[in-house]
Chains A and B, each alone.
Chain A
Amino acid sequence: MSHISIHDVGKVFHSGGQEVCALEAIDLEIRQGEFVCLLGPSGCGKSTLLNAVAGFSPPTTGTITVDGSIITDPGPDRGMVFQEYALFPWMTVEQNIAFGLQIKKEPKLTIQEKVNGLLAMLHLEEFRKRYPKDLSGGMRQRVAIARVLAIDSPILLMDEPFGALDALTRRNLQDELLRLWTELEKTILFVTHSIEEALYLADRTVVMTYRPGTLKRDLAIDLPRPRDVASPAFNALKKELSALLMEEQSRHNQDEFRGAAVD
């Protein structure tokens, strides 16, 4: 049974008197426990789609349902991880992680236990009393992941979460995320513009077109995990996706030359 159901979703923005059609006729079904990557060039509307699922900016047309109920607002059943980490700088690592639990009004002892568990799970124990400004990018993103895991949402929405990290930290966190995903049986919708990242992580990679954002290709990645990025099968898929993406990227470039790109 499908868990997240996106049906005929369209989104129109008004930008400087112009109407920009960011999404058009998107149909996407995501099963429980599936890891789906949305892949596309910048401006293809992949983040717009993610924000619509998160409930931050509802679609202009069509509906998004989770377990059969229509999404109208953001909620803790769909935890979001942002590219900019968005940790609260005035809270320490443990306060950041505990925040969602305090909102749920869980008892103090339970909060303490859960926070300790998450600190251990994400290797953050030594940093529990630190403020975000004293953490590296990778550490910050671990805290942000721990913060949404704390509220135990069945769905994780991730908006280019590793986009600002260096290659090694990125691979490290990708492995960590796969481990957590297997262990905790989450459904993940993950936005990226990196082909390799999508192929490394996802059960399915959905390629989007550039403006209007539509679904260009829905590709199942059947490679066994852990995936070998140097294997011929991986590279064959990479080649295939690169070709698809380049077509969209060139349309983006043309728009940019005409000065019509709005990001």
Chain B
Amino acid sequence: MKGYRHAASGLLVPLAVLALWQLLSSKGWVNATILPSPMQVLVKWWAYLRPGEAFDPAQGSYLKWCLSGELIQDAAGSLYRVLTGFIIGAGLALPLGLVMGYSRLVYGLFNPLIQVLRPIPPIAYIPLSILWFGLGNPPAIFLIAIGAFFPVLMNTVTGVQNVDSIYLRVGRNLGASRWTQFTRIILPAATPFIFTGARIGMGTAFIVVIVSEMIAVNNGLGYRILEAREYLWSDKIIAGMFTIGLLGLGIDTAMSRLSSYLLKWHRGLEQG
């Protein structure tokens, strides 16, 4: 009951904004090319989502037809890049972060370079990424990997460095080898930090994918809204933007569900 009321009150402001927006458009107070009405956006969004051709069994299954809409193809393209780039970036950051957190020597060797590279926004790598990887998916994935790399790295380092020393004392007392200490104590103790880093990294990856699609590839949600601008299809731009928002929300919710499930032992998530 309380949950419903909570959800209902969460809808109030969005509905009010929509109503105001619809009012502005219906009264003709704003130019429809500059700001199309919500209705117009919704219609465009449906057209964007729907399969382009009529169903033809000779072309393949019904499910395939259902998923053949432009929007779904774009979302799948963006998602593929986000996931590939994230896996590469996080996959490199995690082992480096673990070693840097564990060994002062390695930390001292790598940290200065990382501190210089970290403030460079992934977008600044665009020219180089095109020079190195040409056009298409590779430069986009490269940029996304950079975006995901640093948050995962920094959080992993902090996570390992902040492992409560009492756990290590218990480990030594019970006779754990260094390797056992690392895998059974340091790694699990650092996971809350690592997961936070992964969530931030995924958020960055999602921002970067949209930007990278605006330069290097010819499908994906980022590409589509830039393409729509060429034709002044502002309704399609807005439909694309909302899709990006919803997809981003979906990914973040999935990440946070996954981490509360895996970290059910963690104190901070007791209410979760």
Question: Which A residues contact B (CB, under 8 angstroms)?
Answer: 54, 56, 73-76, 78-80, 82, 84, 86, 88-91, 99-100, 103-104, 131-133, 147-148, 151
Contacts and interface: CB of A to CB of B under 8 A. Distances in A.
Nearest to A75: B175
Binding site secondary structure of chain A: loop
B6 interface: no
B10 to A, nearest CB: 30
Interface stretch (B72-80, B183-191, B198-206, B224-232): B183-191
Q: Interface on chain B toward A: helix, strand, loop, or mixed SS?
A: helix
The 8 tightest CB contacts between A and B, nearest first, are A76-B175, A100-B174, A90-B188, A131-B265, A74-B172, A86-B166, A80-B173, A90-B265
B56 interface: no
Contacts of A148: 173-174
A86 B267 contact: no
A74 B191 contact: no
Contact of B173 (A74, A91, A104): A74
B267 A89 contact: yes
Contact of B166 (A73, A84, A147): A84
Nearest to A132: B265
A30 B182 CA distance: 35
Q: How large is the interface on B (under 10, 10 to 19, 20 to 34, 35 or more residues)?
A: 20 to 34
A76 B173 contact: yes
Given A103-B180, A133-B265, A133-B267, A88 B173 contact: no
B180 A54 contact: no
17 contacts: A56-B169, A74-B172, A76-B174, A78-B173, A82-B169, A86-B167, A88-B170, A88-B189, A90-B189, A103-B175, A103-B176, A104-B175, A132-B265, A133-B266, A133-B267, A147-B174, A148-B173
A116 B267 CA distance: 26
Contact of B185 (A74, A88, A132, A151): A88
B264 interface: yes
A90 B265 CA distance: 5
Given A80-B170, A133-B270, A147-B174, 17 more contacts: A56-B172, A73-B172, A74-B169, A74-B173, A75-B173, A76-B173, A76-B174, A86-B167, A89-B266, A89-B267, A90-B189, A90-B266, A100-B174, A103-B177, A103-B180, A104-B175, A148-B174
A243 B25 CA distance: 88
B167 A151 contact: no
A36 B265 CA distance: 36
B170 A82 contact: yes
A54 to B, nearest CB: 7
Nearest to A104: B175
B264 A131 contact: yes
A147 B173 CA distance: 11
